Structure 1
């Protein structure tokens, strides 16, 4: 029991005498030995998924635009404001006709037909 206690004391003293931070060379070796993550499996999966989507996309199906034209947003705001202002049926019908005409114009501009 005494021998174990002396060994522990000597070991503790020796460990405390050593520097706590590893040197820069050790960190360089750890960095070099660290396994790298490979992206190719993920990129391959993404490519296959993209090809499947393109292949399965219906031919001639229209693709929705990624943005809404300003004119349509302005027309929708006018409609919303008319509803908030309790506009009569004639005023609302006129605004809806304007919006539908704008939608028809936009559809013709994109090669779609109604």
Structure 2
């Protein structure tokens, strides 16, 4: 159950880096090898009303929140989180080179005792 939420300041909405960020994150998550394809969900949401740093209009932010199910070792989680953030940071570097940008990412584990699911995606996904 690897879910991700990307929030970003609307002032970077038209940048190529933001346009491709969802796919970058998707690929990075799958490349770790620890997340099932049928469980991946990525939500990408602009934040229109926000205040960033000293309120300079060019200031921008991206926040990525990852939530995963239980059952992986701390070492596995750390390695996956490091790899994902490295790939995302590399992807966003050209944007950061052009304007002020704050990027943050966090990962949290979902307590399985309180996690409920109904998912038939595997029944509909193409083989391969």
Fold-level similarity (TM above 0.5): no
Structure showing the higher strand proportion among its residues: 2
TM-score with structure 1 length normalisation? 0.29
TM-score with structure 2 length normalisation? 0.27
Larger-gyration structure (1/2): 1
Kindly indicate whether structure 1 or structure 2 has the higher relative contact order, using CA contacts under 8 Å at least 6 residues apart. Answer: 2
Structure showing the higher helix proportion among its residues: 1
